[in-house]
Amino acid sequence: MSQIAGQGRNNRPAGSQGPMNIAEVTKTKDTRKSSPVDRLLALVAADMQATDLIIHDRLGSTVSLIPDLAKHLVESGGKRLRPLLTLAAARAGGYQGDKHICLAAAVEFIHTATLLHDDVVDASTLRRGKIAANVVWGNKPSVLVGDFLFSRAFQLMVEGGDLSVLDILAGASAIIAEGEVMQLKSANNLATTEDDYLQVVTAKTAALFAAAAQSGAMIARTGAAVIEGFRVYGKKLGIAFQLVDDALDYSGRQAQMGKSVGDDFREAKVTLPVVLAYARADAEARRFWQRTIADGAQNDSDLKQAIALVEETGAIEETRARAARYADEACEALSVLPDSEIRRELIALAEFCVDRGY
Amino acid sequence: MSQIAGQGRNNRPAGSQGPMNIAEVTKTKDTRKSSPVDRLLALVAADMQATDLIIHDRLGSTVSLIPDLAKHLVESGGKRLRPLLTLAAARAGGYQGDKHICLAAAVEFIHTATLLHDDVVDASTLRRGKIAANVVWGNKPSVLVGDFLFSRAFQLMVEGGDLSVLDILAGASAIIAEGEVMQLKSANNLATTEDDYLQVVTAKTAALFAAAAQSGAMIARTGAAVIEGFRVYGKKLGIAFQLVDDALDYSGRQAQMGKSVGDDFREAKVTLPVVLAYARADAEARRFWQRTIADGAQNDSDLKQAIALVEETGAIEETRARAARYADEACEALSVLPDSEIRRELIALAEFCVDRGY
């Protein structure tokens, strides 16, 4: 399974074929040592396996470049966080059917399509530690394979058979595109406010997290309050997740560990660490940000200086504190659910997203 | 209305508010002088007006760059051929509801999204005689606004309320992307056969024509035979349309009239005129095609020479003859329909698509 899923580090019980019941879950004691992502994956292991099978099946095309390019990204060890939310929400609602599998696959396809197009838009060279598809195959196939995956996502939603779920996911896709355009406009713009930034993050990242969780609850017909609870959970989790991502991109510790940092800086994106650091900057630091972000005139030593400035001004700490607040709000939104293993792990997931160092 | 529609040259009866009946249609005698496109537009004038209103409404976004960019293309005087097929098929089926309006708008949005992405992929500088959006705003917004329009298209289909229609249009979108990727692969490749070419055309162009016509018939619940008739009509019309487009791109007469020619040649696309001309080329002409298409090494005088070669070898004439055969098959597919004004104009449209000089 680990090969199929590209999730080798997940500690799922071997040989599980159908949905697990609570008795089976409590048997997997050693999963407690792993992250909440791994434990949630274990709770919906069979569903995620079925989702992965659908994902690989629907990447297929007689035009071989399409699966070649799509698999490069799909098999690159993404965390499958978004489909995980769909599966967990459906499971939490006691859903017994199989439509959540198509929806989870559709959610991952939308995410993959946006990554392909993002990498073209950002002219990225790396994605998940691998050379980005746009570098290997060029921008043209990346744009077109993104379109193919979008279309496949909607075909999968049709199989899901629920028009109101389709509406939620189509709406989220439109909002993601709006968020990406907003982000383009805020690049190089030091007048970007924290509110502007939050609007971008809510649209480009949180909208799909929200729709992923909400649609799982909808397919389980859990009632309006629980559906709304999952929507808010997903949205707040998504904001927290992106805030931490943006903090990590200026992390000196990450850089020391050999991990990629500075992508946002090089692209002159005005993320929250920069908004906060710029607001607290002295005259010399302001000139630094104006040159490197507003004018985009950077040299090799600037990233180190940028990291020092965001750390000195407490901008990283404060970005993480903001993320923690959103994570708290995410957990709060799940108070509509009765206590369960899934609910506990979803709460742990929100905390984990804030504390993670990668 | 002409301003809203961007269809100023259409001769539609002024002041028509609701669907016209046959008595009203026969009153509009002077429309006989115009093209079948204009006459079909007159037959569904109120529906097309409603479609245009929906199109303009759904382009809206708080992110102003999105409607600015989208309107640049939507208002550039496209023929609205694809939504016209949806509206005509629904009308031919006696449909009395209003769901066909959403579908027709969705079809135009899918088409517009693919044009935006095509122009990025082809690095085009002109579209419909205007500077292409990717030149005005850059590739990044063009990719993202295309994604926005795709998403809006699916939201409109949800409003259409028919999952089987959604499936047809989502499937067509996936096939369009496959066709575009196939076309990328055949560029610079003189080993491309007529069959390869037809596969590309069937996917990148005919699939949406087919889905547009079919979905109009489906929403009208006209029965399997008529739905299939419209699907085949749309498909064959789409192939004929693209064949003529590809012939016109090598038309010396077009060039004399100041119209844009040579786009395919400059992009080293291997369209049917080139496939046929290369098959009939002498040794010197083969060297010309190898240098300009396979090696992509072109100079300013090469287009004139290419046009001369495709004309001399009869490749243009034969491409048009192929188109005429597909148009005949399109008309034949409508034999399942009883005689009506719409059916007669759809048949005239197929003939017109072949004979058109633009």
Is position B290 within any domain?
yes
Nearest chain A residue to B165 by CA distance is A158
Is position B128 within any domain?
yes
> Which element (helix H / strand E) includes B130?
strand B130-131
Q: What CATH number corresponds to the domain at position A270?
A: 1.10.600.10
Facing residue for B174 by CB, picked from A121, A151, A176:
A151
Is position B62 within any domain?
yes
Give B199's contacts (C-beta < 8 A, 6+ positions apart): B179, B182
Domains: count for chain A: 2
- One domain, residues A156 and A289: no
At residue A257, the pLDDT reads 64
Share of chain A above pLDDT 70, in %: 89
- Average pLDDT for residues A260-277, to the nearest whole number? 94
Domain final position from A161, A196, A212: A161
CA–CA separation, A172 and A75 (whole Å): 24
pLDDT tens string, chain B, 358 residues long: the values are 333 333 333 333 333 333 333 333 334 444 456 899 999 999 999 999 999 999 999 999 999 999 999 998 888 777 899 999 999 999 999 999 999 999 999 999 999 999 999 888 777 777 767 787 787 888 889 999 999 999 999 999 999 999 999 999 999 999 999 999 999 999 999 999 999 999 999 999 999 999 999 999 999 999 999 999 999 999 999 999 999 999 999 987 776 666 678 989 999 999 999 999 999 999 999 999 999 999 999 998 999 999 999 999 999 999 999 999 999 999 999 999 999 999 999 999 999 999 887 6
- One domain, residues A194 and A257: yes
Nearest chain B residue to A203 by CA distance is B63
Query: Which amino acid makes up residue B181?
Result: V
b/e code A243-260 from CB counts within 10 Å (16+ = b): bbbbbbbbbeebeeeeee
At residue B104, the pLDDT reads 98
Nearest chain A residue to B119 by CA distance is A140
- One domain, residues A124 and A273: no
Domain final position from A146, A161, A176: A161
Q: Is B187 helix (H, G, I), strand (E, B) or coil?
A: coil
At residue A33, the pLDDT reads 62
Range A202-205 contact pairs with CB under 8 angstroms and sequence separation of 24 or more: A202/A235, A202/A238, A202/A239, A203/A175, A203/A176, A203/A178, A203/A179, A204/A176, A204/A179, A204/A180, A204/A242, A205/A179, A205/A238, A205/A239, A205/A241, A205/A242
Pick from A63, A145, A152, A269 the residue to mutate for testing the B interface (most B CBs within 10 Å). A63
At residue B255, the pLDDT reads 66
- One domain, residues A37 and A105: yes
At residue A10, the pLDDT reads 35
Chain A closest CA to B292's CA: distance in Å? 21
Range of B84's domain?
34-355
Look at residues A209, A311, A319 and name the one whose alpha carbon lies nearest to residue A271. A319
Are A151 and B171 an interchain contact pair (Cβ–Cβ within 8 Å)?
Answer: yes
DSSP A297: -
At residue A135, the pLDDT reads 78
Chain A closest CA to B357's CA: distance in Å? 31
Q: Which residue has the tokens 């630091």?
A: A285
At residue B57, the pLDDT reads 95
Between positions 137 and 176 of B, the ones with CB within 8 A of A are 139-141, 143-148, 150-152, 154-155, 158, 161, 163, 166-167, 170-171, 173-174, 176
Is position B22 within any domain?
no
Average pLDDT for chain A? 88
pLDDT (tens digit, 9 = 90+) per residue, A12-49? 333 333 333 333 334 444 445 689 999 999 999 999 99
Pick from B118, B144, B167, B176 the residue to mutate for testing the A interface (most A CBs within 10 Å). B144
Is position B307 within any domain?
yes
Residues of chain A found within 8 Å of residue B166, distances taken between Cβ atoms: 154, 158, 166
Are A174 and B158 an interchain contact pair (Cβ–Cβ within 8 Å)?
Answer: no
> How big is the CA angle at B203 (ends B229 and B180), to the nearest 5 degrees?
160
At residue A258, the pLDDT reads 61
Res A92 pLDDT > 80? yes
Are A173 and B167 an interchain contact pair (Cβ–Cβ within 8 Å)?
Answer: no
Residues of chain A found within 8 Å of residue B120, distances taken between Cβ atoms: 139-140, 143
Q: Higher model confidence: residue A196 or residue B27? A: A196
Query: Which amino acid makes up residue B202?
Result: T
Pick from B109, B150, B168 the residue to mutate for testing the A interface (most A CBs within 10 Å). B150
Domain final position from A116, A132, A161: A161
- Output phi, psi for A317, to 5 deg: -55, -45
Give A87's contacts (C-beta < 8 A, 6+ positions apart): A44, A47, A48, A51, A100, A101, A104, A216
Residues of chain A found within 8 Å of residue B103, distances taken between Cβ atoms: none
ipTM score for this prediction: 0.88
Is position B7 within any domain?
no
At residue B101, the pLDDT reads 98
Residues of chain A found within 8 Å of residue B107, distances taken between Cβ atoms: none
* pTM of this prediction exceeds 0.95: no
At residue B249, the pLDDT reads 93
Are A177 and B140 an interchain contact pair (Cβ–Cβ within 8 Å)?
Answer: no
Residues of chain A found within 8 Å of residue B141, distances taken between Cβ atoms: 181, 184
Q: Higher model confidence: residue A125 or residue B287? A: B287
Facing residue for A184 by CB, picked from B140, B180, B184:
B140
- Are A85 and A353 in contact by the 8 Å Cβ rule? The answer is no
Is position B222 within any domain?
yes
Residues of chain B found within 8 Å of residue A181, distances taken between Cβ atoms: 63, 65-66, 141, 144-145, 148
- Count Cβ–Cβ pairs < 8 Å, chain A vs chain B: 135
Between positions 46 and 85 of A, the ones with CB within 8 A of B are 61-63, 65-66
Is position B95 within any domain?
yes
- One domain, residues A192 and A172: yes
